Chain A
Amino acid sequence: MNDGPSAPVFEVRGVSRRFGATQALDEVDFDLRRGEIHALVGENGAGKTTLAKITAGTLRPDAGELRLFGDIYSPRRRADGSAAGVAHVRQQLSLVRGLSVAQNIELGRPRPQAGRRPWPRRFKSASARAEVERLAEELDLNVPAEELVEDLPLAVRQQAEILISLAWGARILVLDEPSSALGPLETEVLVRLCLRLRDEGTPIIYISHRLGELAELADRLTVLRQGRVVVAGADVADADMHQLAELMIGDISLLEVQRPRTRAGEVRLDAVGLKLSVEHGAGLKDISLQVRGGEIAGVVGVAGNGQEELAGVLSGQVRPDSGTVLIDGSDVTGSTARAVANGAALLPEDRSAGLATSFSLAENVIARRVGDPVFASWGVRRMRPVRRHARSLSERFEVNPPEPDLPARSLSGGNQQKLMAARELEIDPAVLVASGPTKGLDPHASRAMRDRCWETARRGGAVVLISADLDEIAELAHRVLVLSGGRIIDRFPTEEMTSARLGAAMAGLRIEEGDDVSPQGVDS
């Protein structure tokens, strides 16, 4: 084995893994060298996460071989991976939420096999806390040791998990879509942390489908498509991102799409003086906004600054402490029933909140219309029209497969999102509240969702697009509202969106003057 500076520390040779009928990985080769960040990119379902799990020891491959620092590496469970120095930070993070960071550092911690300690091992809270604090200081992170994980913002949980990996003696780090739920500032912190870890000797496998962020981060890049390697370890410095995007998708380039702006008409959504205090999160502190028919208002901000609360209140799911929400002049404050009756549609960020995943496609699709005489007579469901309707609607919204009787949970994330859109947007809504509609989706599915939002506006709906994806905002929104600490602290036409202005607003450096509640920058 070559021990030079670019010798592989981790190697994958001919690894395959099948789930039922799906070949998730098909004879994949991959290698990670000393001192590099190696990006693993691909669409949803390309096999990135499967490879990460196999690397970590959570899954076993059907065939193929792994080598770690030259030795055969065949972990049988997650603990074997940790003990060998492989850390895997999952997309849905894996710190136990009901425990503190200091408690999580001891939980599952690998121990040297020799000299087994007596059972039960004592948990020494003081030394665990000291260890977290020492590492946090070393890494220049603000990770509180004693707070419960569930009370920490997502970005901090992620930092805590990386910190714990290092405490456990990680020799290689696998980060699965680490930036997908982060705002721009948080992503910057993450990128700095990754570069620093790399320079200090921990190579990183960085999984992403945001090609844009890889340029400043990754050294090499491997592209997976449908379980196969299509680009193997190319140098990022020489790579043509547009070409890579094409390889990843297999067809059209998706970068820098220009959208014609839709025409704005009458005010359809009118929210005044919304206030809400919540236990966790920023709540809402006197938010007013108006959105016209045909207009898309983009709401941005660092995650956890009131986005969730705003989506809940605007869609009638949450009753604000004070303030009103009007749709076409009707008061729908705090009532989903009235909101729906007045044509409100909601695409929530959490798909499991928007779908009954154990119910079938057909049942989900007609959920807003269960009492409709077309679908029920005398309280008995008429299955044939329901199925027919579900199939045609699924086809129209490109839900794949469009099988009415499949349970919704058997669909991929992107298709679940499309199914939700099919139900919500079947009848042109007056108001659409879309919260992170493309979060975690591959470019294809994202495209379809953006089309839906745009189409809704074109047909005269007022759209509130809450998104952490600034490209999405730039592409779709007429104007931008910046949320910080539960307030709208800046608003401007999309054309004026610059990273300097956004960054300042998101960091809370700007306070909105006066009580200006009128929408600005509406093109008409």
Chain B
Amino acid sequence: MSKLGEITFWTATISGGLRLATPLVLASLGETISQRAGVLNIGLEGFMITGALTSLYVAVETSLVVGLLAGALAGAGLALLMTALCVRLNANQVVVGFGITILGIGLTGYIFRLTTPLGGERRQIDIAEEIRIPGLSDIPFVGEAFLSNSAITWLAIGIVPVVWWLAQRTVFGLEVRSVGEDPDAAYARGVNVLRVRSVATLISGFLGGLGGAAITTAMVGVFEPAITAGRGFIALIVIIMVRWSAWGVAVGSFIFGFSEALGTNLRNIVSDEVPTEALAAIPFLVALIILVVGARRARMPKSLGFNYIPDR
């Protein structure tokens, strides 16, 4: 256990936490926007895994950037389906959301099997290198732990203030909140409720797909079935616990990512007497407690999950 006192253990765990938080941040930022607009998007896991496969397969043929973009667009494509069914055709959001998740997992698994002969080679890509900020990344501890990240992590961090700005400082942000709170009143004020909800859902699909792409293309370098491992659902939990706040999502995602990294790294250093499963679970438990205690004021969008039908 002596390694717990070593600084390298903690720098590795923190930078690992940031890495693991990246897909979560991206996916939950998008979902925050759609939920604020009243669209409960349980299909997030489906967006992510579709983005994960698409981006890797495209990146192998082209480049990292094109791959990430393709993953994001694949997520947006599924979001378009969600928009058509839920926002326009008034289908039940929960049913469609689960459908999209199942579709995404099933379809990507199927495509993976088709394209990967048994015992054959998987498609693989080199993981992008860390981007270090000259000077800053050399600061002891802080530089190693927080400031040496891959491009996708920097991108995720950069999107946080953008989403915050969009939600808090633009008329679109007001529209999003209004259609999620009180679509009837928003409609009467002249807000195009269905359009705002559609745009919000597409943003959620785009960022969800990008979150999935981050896993395969930027972090692991390969795809395997169900590689998202429920991160789409964890993102849903994060959003609820941080009460639909962009900065909260960033912090909450990091706590989850950090816990996961801690669990993994602890397994490497403690001896056999502690079951690895228990070790893997403890950090999540801690994360849950922190999040529940840390975020109090409830303000759920009042029309979350309810479709809106304008009367004509």
Contact = CB atoms under 8 A, between A and B. Distances in A.
A90 interface: yes
A60 B177 CA distance: 27
B297 interface: no
Interface string B169-182: 11111110110011
B115 interface: no
Contacts of A326: none
A107 B187 contact: no
Nearest to B186: A96
Contact of B188 (A60, A94, A123): A94
A95 B189 contact: yes
A123 B302 contact: no
Nearest to B301: A98
B172 A120 contact: yes
B166 interface: yes
Contacts of B185: 93-97
A107 B174 contact: yes
B191 interface: yes
Nearest to B299: A98
A121 B176 CA distance: 13
A123 B174 CA distance: 8
A122 B172 CA distance: 8
A110 B190 contact: yes
Contact of B170 (A58, A59, A82, A123): A123
Interface centre among A77, A78, A104, A110 (most CB of B within 10 A): A78
Contacts of A58: 188, 311
A122 B169 CA distance: 6
A97 B182 contact: yes
Nearest to A168: B190
Contacts of B188: 58, 78, 88, 90, 94
Nearest to B175: A107
Interface residues of B, number: 25
Interface in A146-168: none
Given A96-B182, A97-B182, A99-B177, A108 B170 contact: no
Contacts of A103: 174
B141 to A, nearest CB: 39
Contact of B189 (A60, A78, A122): A78
Interface in A69-113: 77-79, 81-82, 88, 90, 93-99, 103-104, 106-110
A177 to B, nearest CB: 15
B192 A123 contact: no
B189 A108 contact: yes
A378 interface: no
B190 A123 contact: no
Contacts, number: 81
A104 B189 contact: yes
B296 interface: no
A149 to B, nearest CB: 9
A60 B186 contact: no
A120 B171 contact: yes
Instruction: Give the most central of A88, A95, A108: most B CB within 10 Å.
Output: A108
Contact of A79 (B171, B192, B311): B192
A120 B166 contact: yes
B191 A108 contact: yes
Contact of A94 (B166, B174, B189, B311): B189
Given A97-B181, A120-B172, A107 B186 contact: yes
Given A96-B178, A98-B181, A98-B182, A82 B190 contact: yes
Given A77-B190, A79-B190, A94-B188, A123 B171 contact: yes
Contacts of B166: 120
B312 A60 contact: yes
Contacts of B311: 58-59
A110 B190 CA distance: 8
Contacts of A104: 189
A59 B312 contact: yes
B170 A107 contact: no
B161 to A, nearest CB: 14
A119 B172 CA distance: 8
Contacts of B169: 122-123
A107 B171 CA distance: 7
Residue with the greatest number of chain A CB neighbours at <10 A, chosen from B171, B175, B177, B181: B171
B177 A108 contact: no
Contacts of A110: 190
Contact of B186 (A88, A108, A109): A108
B187 A106 contact: no
A123 B173 contact: yes
6 interchain residue pairs of minimum CB distance: A94-B188, A108-B190, A108-B189, A79-B190, A98-B181, A120-B170
11 contacts: A60-B312, A81-B190, A94-B189, A95-B185, A97-B182, A98-B177, A99-B178, A107-B186, A110-B190, A120-B166, A122-B170
Interface of B: 166, 169-175, 177-178, 181-182, 184-192, 299, 302, 311-312
Given A99-B177, A120-B172, 14 more contacts: A58-B188, A60-B312, A79-B190, A94-B188, A96-B181, A97-B185, A98-B299, A98-B302, A106-B174, A107-B171, A107-B191, A108-B175, A123-B171, A123-B174
